[in-house]
């Protein structure tokens, strides 16, 4: 598999933790191996293509906080060949507050409830992602997969291919502790871990003491500010 999505398939030990998410405001801890991450990515890619006719070259805007599901959406978007953008998009993906009017043809909403649960009350005018995605298969096969030269991002008017995005990020083989950030920072961390064989621990709504405890428990190195 070419492009960014192929990096996930090439992780040496797919059973080890790849993405761990803490939210001390719940509290919640979710741990996904590379295999489990790939299952979520493939289900999402199948949902997009089989369920909603998404095609390579379409654009997607992810108005989501840093979250394990936002990382899944990045990988699923690149698997399908969607272009992640900060501008107007064909597909909009929103968090539970549904803030703003995306103006997209297709809008998904994520509850961001623990363990990927659906909304208690479905959002009007949006597709409840977590209510839809689990009905799709764990394996994805594309008749029109993205290539290394395919666009992966269109940000601030600048378009970046899959290959150029990988080349622009330093590979990281370590376990990295992250705090919530903007989407380009999340992309940098995700691509660095994928290309270097590393793993990520994302900690939301944590005090300094909680972050230090998570770093010790997960044997993770805090990212540089």
pLDDT in tens, 80-123: 999 999 999 999 999 998 765 567 889 999 999 998 999 998 88
CA–CA separation, 7 and 93 (whole Å): 23
d(CA 197, CA 191): 10
Pairing label, strands 158-161, 151-155 = antiparallel
Write down the pLDDT at residue 225.
62
The answer to whether 91 and 109 are in contact (CB under 8 A) is no
- What pLDDT was estimated at residue 11? 82
Record the tokens describing residue 171, joined without a space. Answer: 């590979």
Tally of domains within the chain: 1
**pLDDT value at residue 210:** 97
Place of tokens 């192929």: 6
pLDDT at position 7: 86
Q: What is the average pLDDT score of the chain?
A: 93
Residue 5: predicted pLDDT: 74
CA distance 108 to 118: 12
Backbone angles phi, psi at 65, to 5 degrees: -75, 165
pLDDT attached to residue 207: 96
- For residue 181, the enclosing domain spans 5-222
Write down the pTM of the prediction: 0.96
pLDDT confidence of residue 100:
57
Domain CATH for 27 = 3.40.50.12780
The pLDDT, as a whole number, for residue 69 is 98
Alpha-carbon distance values, 47 to 28, 44, 106, 115, 133 (Å): 26, 5, 13, 19, 6
Ranges under pLDDT 70 in the chain: 1-2, 99-102, 225
Instruction: Output the DSSP codes for 111-167.
Output: ---GGGPPPSSPPTTSEEHHHHGGGS-S----SS---TTSEEEEETTEEEEHHHHHH
pLDDT at 132: 96
Q: What's the pLDDT score for residue 103? A: 76
């Amino acid at each position: 598999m070419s492009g960014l999505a192929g990096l996930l398939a090439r992780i040496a030990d797919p059973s080890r933790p790849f993405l761990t998410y803490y939210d001390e405001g719940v509290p919640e801890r979710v741990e996904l191996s590379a295999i489990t991450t790939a299952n979520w990515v493939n289900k999402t890619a199948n949902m997009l293509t089989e369920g909603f006719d998404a095609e390579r070259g379409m654009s997607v805007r992810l108005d989501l906080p840093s979250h394990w599901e936002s990382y899944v959406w990045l990988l699923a978007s690149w698997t399908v060949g969607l272009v992640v953008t900060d501008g107007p998009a064909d597909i909009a993906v929103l968090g539970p507050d549904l803030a703003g009017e995306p103006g997209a043809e297709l809008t998904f909403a994520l509850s961001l409830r623990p363990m990927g649960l659906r909304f208690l009350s479905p959002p009007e005018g949006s597709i409840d992602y977590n209510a839809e995605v689990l009905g799709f298969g764990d394996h994805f096969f594309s008749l029109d997969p993205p290539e290394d030269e395919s666009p992966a991002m269109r940000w601030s008017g600048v378009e970046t291919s899959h290959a150029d995005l990988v080349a622009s990020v330093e590979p990281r083989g370590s376990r990295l502790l992250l705090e919530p950030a903007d989407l380009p920072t999340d992309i940098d961390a995700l691509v660095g871990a994928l290309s270097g064989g590393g793993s990520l621990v994302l900690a939301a709504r944590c005090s300094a003491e909680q972050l230090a405890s998570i770093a010790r428990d997960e044997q993770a190195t805090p990212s540089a500010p």
